[in-house]
Amino acid sequence: MFQQTGFRRVKRGYREIPESLAQGPKSVIKKSSWSELRASLDDEINPAVVHPESHFQEIQDGSRSVFKRGYNSLTVDNLVGPPPQPQEPSDPLFPYQWYLKNTGQNGGKARLDLNVEAAWAQGITGLNVTTAIMDDGVDYMHPDIINNYNARASYDFSSNDPFPYPRYTDDWFNSHGTRCAGEVSAAKDNDVCGVGVAYNSLVAGIRMLDQPYMTDLIEANSMGHQPDLIDIYSASWGPTDDGRTVDGPRNATMRAIVRGVNEGRKGLGNIYVWASGDGGEDDDCNCDGYAASMWTISINSAINTGENAHYDESCSSTLASTFSNGAKDPNTGVATTDLYGKCTKTHSGTSAAAPEAAGVFALAIEANRLLTWRDMQHLTVLTSKRNSLFDSKSRFFWTMNGVGLEFNHLFGFGVLDAGAMVALAKQWKTVPARFHCEAGSSIGLARIPTDKSLFLTIDTQACAGLETEVNYLEHVQAVVTLNSTRRGAVQLFLRSPMGTRSMILSERPNDADSTDGFTKWPFMTTHTWAEYPRGKWSLEVEFVTGPPMQGFVKEWTLLLHGTKEAPYTNLPVTDPHSKLAVVKKAHEDRRKM
Ligand SMILES: [Ca+2]
Ligand SMILES: [Ca+2]
Ligand SMILES: [Ca+2]
């Protein structure tokens, strides 16, 4: 056995770090309460806290037969006609779940929601899809969760046992995972709390946040846990959102993610959903290697009026958005389950946004069990909506990319639309093979001037004629090595041959680093999705206005990821105004040239 060095990972949605955590491993109190908990589990298992594993299997076997009375069973009713229209949930908190159905309650914007009723009306509720909540545990005995709890797919990596039950603290600090779980799959019509986005889906608990320090091994084990039983992993945590951290997955975790997307779900690829971060305008989620990864779908949030939340981070790797709190009225938080059978109306942060997306993706998987991890990203791009999302400070506007897809630096391609995603998922044909083209490098010291921008260009054929030819983009990465007297004063923009300008690094006023800089850091953009990559790419480097700085770019490598073949040729277009129709037309026009 070997000891791993620990590092810090924080929940998103909780701004305050309790002293015991902040003090780290030196905190004796923390350590002793921790060993007490372990000891209590080892000695005598309290049946009120932990059940034998078979208990949950029994519950699930029982509950599954209940589900089968729904849409999927081959009863005469189901063979004869369409499934009955589900009634609006009768759960007491449903009227507060404006993110599911926004009627304009509490000053919100009517119809600004996830459009889940349109997905439910298609007979899709998440049946037999499992989402794992990687967090501080899940109160799996909560009456709104217990029947959807997938014990077989669950584990406790914080204390190495099969029971990811949250550790008790007086301030309910460990309520985070339970709140996230309810958003995905709280039960419908049971008079308890509200209802999950995918209320017939299964939820697993992966307890891994509740120890003084994180290790690569705990993260890797969590993200690679039961990849054939778990479809979606939802993570609402990451490197500290202090606006001066540049950090990401370590070696083992990186390998676990890669294995997940390549081999998980029996080869279709696991879906990793990530909260983009709560660092507000002073942080940039492209400095968070989990959120910025191509293999995660990172999700930002909007509040009930369509504004971004004040804590929202922006970055070009964000794919789409869902909803969270932020308005003054406390009833505009996220209503969901809470610890010990309770409910809450005030779940918050991009923490609350990621599980909503996981729920929508669970619906898409039930609609089409063959969706790959890349299909899910394409579906997200094509069905997310601008709706009425806007930047409350008018910094970032909606812009059209080179093939007519609208994006916003804060919200990615817009807010998820469950109804549209399920409908398109049902018709979906898996996208063509993906290739990785190393498009070019610019090596050698280039000084960043103080009064104007530095432009570095790469002219590329995008590997035309080679094995790795890319003609239709998915993700683009600019791998950059640079140093500056103040890292937080550097801004980076990437301009594509079709003219789309992504801000791949924004100012971070708290980042005073003058020694580390960025070393081969992969800045990612989704904004050039479906564009043609051939031609001139330029990296624009500038200092923000302020005291004079010095800096050098040492290296820049452009990596293009996407398909050789046009991705949507086999898909029927039912709505001529849909994003699918727009992109398909752009691709067809291009081929005629
Ligand atoms: Ca446990
Ligand atoms: Ca309920
Ligand atoms: Ca961050």
Q: Ligand 2 centroid to 195 CA: how many Å?
A: 5
- Domain limit, last residue, from 427, 451, 472: 427
Q: Using alpha carbons only, what angle is made at residue 476 by residues 310 and 131, rounded to the nearest 5 degrees?
A: 60
Any domain includes 539: yes
Domain that residue 510 falls in: 434-563
Say whether both 396 and 501 belong to one domain: no
pLDDT of residue 204: 98
Q: Ligand 1 centroid to 37 CA: how many Å?
A: 9
Q: Ligand 3 centroid to 272 CA: how many Å?
A: 17
Q: Ligand 2 centroid to 417 CA: how many Å?
A: 22
Q: Ligand 1 centroid to 273 CA: how many Å?
A: 24
Any domain includes 558: yes
Say which ligand is closest to the CA of 42.
1
Question: What does each C-alpha distance from 95 to 70, 347, 349 come to in angstroms?
Answer: 24, 15, 20
Any domain includes 22: no
- 438 close to 556: Cβ distance less than 8 angstroms: no
Stated as kind and residue range, the H or E segment containing 497 is none
Say whether both 535 and 423 belong to one domain: no
Computed over its alpha carbons, how large is the radius of gyration of the chain? 23
Q: Ligand 1 centroid to 485 CA: how many Å?
A: 46
Q: Ligand 1 centroid to 156 CA: how many Å?
A: 5
Give the DSSP per-residue string, 303-342. -TTSBBPTT--B-TT--EEEE---SSSGGGSEEEE-GGG-
Say whether both 573 and 559 belong to one domain: no
Q: Ligand 2 centroid to 194 CA: how many Å?
A: 4
pLDDT of residue 72: 43
Stated as kind and residue range, the H or E segment containing 420 is helix 418-427
Say whether both 467 and 572 belong to one domain: no
How many independent structural domains does the chain possess?
A: 3
- 525 close to 546: Cβ distance less than 8 angstroms: no
3-class DSSP state for residue 180?
A: helix
Dig out the tokens for 406 from the structure. Answer: 């609208």
Say which ligand is closest to the CA of 283.
3
For 152, list phi and psi in degrees, rounded to 5.
-65, -30
Burial of 190 (0-12, 13-18, 19+ CB in 10 A): middle
Dig out the tokens for 195 from the structure. Answer: 């209802």
Neighbours of 550 (CB within 10 A): 13
CA–CA dist 138, 124 (Å, integer): 25
Looking at residue 233, which CATH number applies to its domain?
3.40.50.200
**Rama region for 130: left / alpha / beta (φ>0; ψ in -120 to 50; rest):** beta
Say whether both 586 and 511 belong to one domain: no
Say whether both 351 and 488 belong to one domain: no
Any domain includes 156: yes
Say whether both 373 and 389 belong to one domain: yes
- 357 close to 273: Cβ distance less than 8 angstroms: yes
pLDDT of residue 84: 59
DSSP state of 161: B
CA–CA dist 386, 448 (Å, integer): 36
- 424 close to 417: Cβ distance less than 8 angstroms: no
CA–CA dist 378, 424 (Å, integer): 11
Stated as kind and residue range, the H or E segment containing 390 is none
Neighbours of 111 (CB within 10 A): 12
Say whether both 504 and 384 belong to one domain: no
Say which ligand is closest to the CA of 240.
3
Q: Ligand 3 centroid to 133 CA: how many Å?
A: 20
**Ion ligand 2 nearby residues (CB, 5 A):** 91, 144, 186-187, 190, 192-193
pLDDT of residue 71: 40
Q: Ligand 1 centroid to 265 CA: how many Å?
A: 26
Say which ligand is closest to the CA of 191.
2
pLDDT of residue 13: 72
Any domain includes 21: no
Would you name the residues annotated as active-site residues? Answer: 135, 176, 351
Any domain includes 44: no
Q: Which of 403, 418, 310, 441 is nearest to 357 (CA)?
A: 418
The terminus-to-terminus CA distance of the chain in angstroms comes to 61
Looking at residue 511, which CATH number applies to its domain?
2.60.120.260
Residue-wise pLDDT tens digits, 85-137:
668 999 999 999 999 999 999 999 999 999 999 999 999 999 999 999 999 99
Say which ligand is closest to the CA of 277.
3
- 451 close to 506: Cβ distance less than 8 angstroms: no
Say whether both 533 and 590 belong to one domain: no
3-class DSSP state for residue 547?
A: coil
Q: Is the dihedral of CA 330, 333, 339, 341 positive or negative?
A: positive
Residue ranges for the chain with pLDDT beneath 50 = 1, 16-53, 55-57, 59-60, 62-79
> Mean pLDDT of all residues in the chain?
89
Q: Which residues are CB-contacts of 482 (< 8 A; sequence separation ≥ 6)?
A: 448, 490, 517, 518, 541, 551, 552, 553, 554
pLDDT of residue 593: 75
Question: What does each C-alpha distance from 331 to 106, 107, 221, 328, 492 come to in angstroms?
Answer: 7, 10, 37, 9, 39
Say whether both 392 and 446 belong to one domain: no
pLDDT of residue 11: 84
Buried/exposed 166-188: b ≥16 CB within 10 Å, e otherwise? bbeeeeebbbbbbbbbbbbbbbb
Say which ligand is closest to the CA of 146.
2
- Domain limit, last residue, from 383, 401, 427: 427
3-class DSSP state for residue 155?
A: strand
Any domain includes 421: yes
Any domain includes 104: yes
Say whether both 482 and 538 belong to one domain: yes
Q: Which of 325, 331, 289 is nearest to 310 (CA)?
A: 325
Residue-wise pLDDT tens digits, 122-132:
999 999 999 99
CA–CA dist 202, 130 (Å, integer): 5
pLDDT of residue 3: 59
- Domain limit, last residue, from 409, 427, 445: 427
Q: Beta strands 237-238 and 490-495: pairing type?
A: unpaired
Say whether both 150 and 227 belong to one domain: yes
Q: Ligand 3 centroid to 254 CA: how many Å?
A: 18
